Structure 1
């Protein structure tokens, strides 16, 4: 099993410290000034990402755009995340980064990132005002969705297998977890 590595440093890092990171197949993220490095994911994870990209792109309105990692989402000086899939307002796109919270951030769980995705990243997206956050578990398969209400995430959907999640945000779309990862 691959592991998440937090790189020791003498001071909290900022987004500027990430600008010259190597292109080595790892994902480099910054959470509260701590560098988090994750290895390349499993094929089942990538299948889920690819199929979700297709499903979201098919229903995406023209003022929004769907992306997959690596896209830096700068949530603050000391926090830069790379969600597996994101939906952003085209008007918010920067030259190299998304300098604002996306309208949807999606993480596809891996054993090495599960706790970070369910806790730290969820909390950072919530604090940054990201309207919707989804977590997909390819092992079950399942999807849990939260929407921001009064500055706090509220669970709005929990489905597994062949059950469909009918999302209202960021736009109407139906996602079935098994269709994302099964043959």
Structure 2
């Protein structure tokens, strides 16, 4: 059964309409190019890896101006994203609903239902919005791909490697801690 009838088109949604949507505890909603994207809650392995990365980033950033957050709404240009992890450095950019601006680091953990969006759409959107580093975590491949948009580099880290952030000097994460 087709989602749209002949000659029917998707209605573009404004930010105000998006903000008026009812909350849903089982799904997350993002606004990308004025279209609502829905994702189910992450799997247990996804949540575990997210917790380990978030804890590691939080410990590293302790005492710094920048802070790591899990699944906060981030407004970049006209889009609303909910990255698995965001490292933000300007607390004045928070409002009651979300962070308004580009995080220094964004981490997305691939899921079967969101991989295409994470690997293509979000990669481009994050780069255009001014994110410094975009980490794509593949649980299946036990691999983290780090896109450093400032230096225009892409580095792949495997299970045996230590992830090295170029945005935060001294941030080194042994991936065995994340994928164990």
**TM > 0.5 between the two?**
yes
SS of 1:144's equivalent in the other structure is: strand
Partner residue, 1:5: none
Is residue 2:132 matched to residue 1:131? yes
The list of structure 1 runs, each at least 4 consecutive aligned residues, that deviate by more than 3 angstroms after superposition, is none
Q: Normalising to structure 2: TM-score of the pair?
A: 0.87
How far off is 1:72 after superposition? Answer: 1.0
Per-residue CA distance 1:13-67 (angstroms, 9 max, x = gap): 1222222332232010111011110111111100110000011011115211110
Unaligned runs of 5+ in 1: 1-7
CA distance in 1, matches of 2:59, 2:176: 18
| Contact 2:159–2:179, Cα closer than 8 Å, also in 1 | no
Q: Is the partner of 2:126 in helix, strand or coil? A: helix
Query: Where does residue 43 of structure 2 map in the other structure?
Result: 42
Q: Show the 5 A alignment for 1:69-148.
A: 69=71, 71-77=72-78, 79-89=79-89, 90-148=91-149
Greater strand percent: which structure?
Answer: 1
Higher relative contact order, chain-length normalized (CA < 8 Å, sep 6+)? 1
Return the TM-score normalized by structure 1. Answer: 0.85
Alignment coverage as a number of residue pairs: 171
- Aligned 8 A contact 1:59 1:171 in 2: no
Secondary structure (helix, strand or coil) at the match of 1:149 reads: coil
For 1:33, the equivalent position in structure 2 comes to 34
Alignment deviations for residues 145-177 of structure 1 (CA, whole Å, 9 cap, x no partner): 011237xx431x211112111112145311233
**Corresponding residue of 1:180:** 178
RMSD after superposition: 2.0
Aligned to 2:153: 154
